[in-house]
Amino acid sequence: MRLNSQDSTIKRNYLQKYRFLMKEYELVKKKEHPKYKFVWEFYESTDTDRRTFLKYYNRYKQSGKESDLLPRKRGPKWKSRCPLPFIENKVLSLREKGLNRYEIIHILKPKLKSHTPSPSGVYNIFKRHNVNRLRPPMKANKRLIIKKKAGELGHIDSHYLSKCIIHSESRHRYLVVVIDSCTRVAWAELVDDIKSLSVMFAALKCFNILADHYNIRFQEVLTDNGPEFGTKVSKKKDNHPFERMLMELEVKHRYTRPYRPQTNGKAERFWRTIEENLLHETTFDSVDELKEELLQYLYYYNQERPHQGIGGITPVEFNKNCPRIT
């Protein structure tokens, strides 16, 4: 009696079919096929599903083994598809910070290497724990840039003032601010324009004041993508005043996402605060008076004003016991 389990007819038919299809496909791709001009004509004529064919074709090209042209055993591979509990816990803890699957994989890959779950595997973990959609607290966590040391990150931004800020003048003036992300200590300088050279000198003066009076020296700074703050093109950085200053000070430059001012939210919030407390509907008799009022306000902001983001204490008080960048 014939044993059907040892019949290799199906195997031969599969191999014969794919040898023929691959030969035809490669002729079409080389534009040497006598009948088909486009690949879609080849698929329609041979009644071949494009995705299925390319799956087997690419698998064979990578290994060179004809056995890869045969269908594989189907079914859930539960031992490889179920992540270990500690991996699942890591994924969930990162998800609570509002990260998506690709950001989580980027963080886990250096540590887990070959055990890193795939994007679909990470999404399955989300779905099992009902966190596949971001909740409001998770969205809020993602917007936070949390730094635990003074000088770890500085926020830099520029802000234009009303033309009527100084009596009998009709021209724009600008402020440049540097804020420490951890302690919220801030310093701002008044400039006549926001050309790169003016912004560079203003930022350098802020750096020196924060270093001398508050012992804060920055490791990284974050700015928007304005031309006054430089360019992401590495070849042009040497010729830009602001970029050159950061290179000389050995400070790393980070940029916000385009059209996403929330990334530099601490600087944006500072502008709102200073507008409400100092600048709104206020006119000054001269530039010197404006500079004097700005100086007094910065003292008040750093020394006396409680800050909600650091537990209701002043930035200077928080800065006293804050660890430093070594």
CATH architecture, domain 154-320: 2-Layer Sandwich (3.30)
Determine the Cα angle at 68 with ends 65 and 74, to 5°.
155
> How much is the pLDDT for 1?
45
Q: Which of 241, 271, 248, 250 has its CA nearest to residue 155? A: 271
HSE-CB of 237 using CA atoms within 13 angstroms: 12
Average pLDDT over residues 35-47: 90
Distances (CA, A) of 259 to 75, 175, 225, 250: 46, 21, 9, 27
Average pLDDT over residues 114-135: 89
Average pLDDT over residues 14-19: 88
> How much is the pLDDT for 183?
93
- 144 or 200, which is more confident? 200
Distances (CA, A) of 88 to 94, 105, 110, 116: 10, 12, 16, 10
Average pLDDT over residues 70-87: 70
- Give long-range contacts, CB 8 A cutoff, 24+ apart: 135-138: 138/95, 138/96, 138/97, 138/98
- Judge whether residue 76 has pLDDT over 60: no
- Judge whether residue 258 has pLDDT over 50: yes
> Measured between alpha carbons, how far is 295 from 300 in angstroms, rounded to an integer?
9
| 3-state per-residue secondary structure call for 58-93 | HHHHHHCCHHHHCCCCCCCCHHHHCCCHHHHHHHHH
> How much is the pLDDT for 74?
62
- Judge whether residue 230 has pLDDT over 90: no
Q: Global pTM?
A: 0.60
Whether residue 224 contacts residue 264, with contact meaning beta carbons closer than 8 Å, is answered with: yes
Local confidence band at 146 (pLDDT 50, 70, 90 cut-offs)? low
Phi, psi of 169 (to 5 degrees): -120, 150
Distances (CA, A) of 37 to 19, 22, 48, 51: 20, 16, 16, 20
**pLDDT over 70 for what percent of the chain?**
92
Summary mean pLDDT of the chain = 87
